[in-house]
Amino acid sequence: MHAECNLAIIGTPRSASSALAKILVSEGWSVPKFGDAPTMSPSKFNMEGYFESTFLNLMNDQIIRARFGIDYSFLFPPEYSDVTKLGISEDFFFDLREESLDIPSDYLESIQLYTGEEWDVWGLTRMLPGGKWHKAYSIRSLSSGISLQASINAFNQYLSEEKGKVLKDSRLTFTLDLFHDNIDKVIVLSREDNGLILSIRNHYGKNIFTSETCDPFPWVSNHFNYRVKPMSFDSYKDRYISFSNALTKNKKVLFLDQSELRSDNKVNKLLEFIHS
């Protein structure tokens, strides 16, 4: 059955979505291969890989910017609103402008003092030099001349022709409706709160769910120059849940907890769901 449909995994970051995607790939599903964009490379956080398309990853980032404004990202998610009223302007292009960066000369020193970390928790080496998108994505054959709406249309056309794809990216929680007609099943993946908080803090910065900021920077973390404002974990989680509930209506949905991936009984139910 997987050869005749596409499946999406949504949920917060660090919920074991990569481990789930690995299971699906072992069962015959595949990661989208759109144009020249490869799958995301492994890192020290996901040694076995992310099983994500770099093109889908970037496009979802840009959709969030276009819909909700520059302040929002999957790390600082928007409040839920009527997503059916949200659109993408035809003239919204990929934000690849290097001059969009505005980083004070003492930025790196201040952030390292604030985080107490030597590693690049804020993604600064991915942002400098050369600009966040240019350095990270232009090598994937993307350019600032690509219309976002045209890219969404092209990707949907690809999904309509290439079945058996697993779409996996935390950002999909906020953009799923734009691919709705070409996604047949959705797995909503969650994780026990304490483990999720610890993993997100380890990955994106220890103060991400506190109100503490480092003057003069009113942010708690950063991801590809998305400056993350203080937010409580409960608010963070509620925003993901609100979007998940809204965007999975009229879809075949399986709700799964990360811990259940270790349960033979639940894995059997997962396999039944993806192959039915």
Q: How far apart are CA 245 and CA 65, in angstroms?
A: 21
Mean pLDDT to the nearest integer, 225-244? 87
Mean pLDDT to the nearest integer, 105-127? 55
Q: What does the pLDDT read at residue 34?
A: 83
Q: What does the pLDDT read at residue 45?
A: 74
Q: Which residue reads 């509930």 in tokens?
A: 245
Q: What does the pLDDT read at residue 25?
A: 92
Q: Which of 6-20, 196-210, 218-232 has the lowest mean pLDDT?
A: 218-232
Mean pLDDT to the nearest integer, 93-122? 55
Residue 238 has pLDDT above 70, yes or no: yes
Of residues 100 and 25, more confidence is placed in 25
Q: Which of 87-101, 115-129, 164-178 has the lowest mean pLDDT?
A: 115-129
Q: Which of 60-74, 154-168, 219-233 has the lowest mean pLDDT?
A: 219-233
DSSP H or E segment with residue 158 = helix 148-161
Compute the chain's Rg from CA coordinates.
18
Residue 219 has pLDDT above 60, yes or no: yes
Cis peptide before 218 (omega within 30 of 0): no
Residue 127 has pLDDT above 50, yes or no: no
Residue 246 has pLDDT above 50, yes or no: yes
Q: What does the pLDDT read at residue 100?
A: 45
Per-residue pLDDT reduced to its tens digit, 40-77: 777 777 888 889 887 888 888 888 888 887 778 888 89
Q: How far apart are CA 110 and CA 225, in angstroms?
A: 16
Domains of the chain: 2-104+127-204+231-275 (3.40.50.300)
Q: How far apart are CA 5 and CA 274, in angstroms?
A: 10
Mean pLDDT to the nearest integer, 178-183? 91
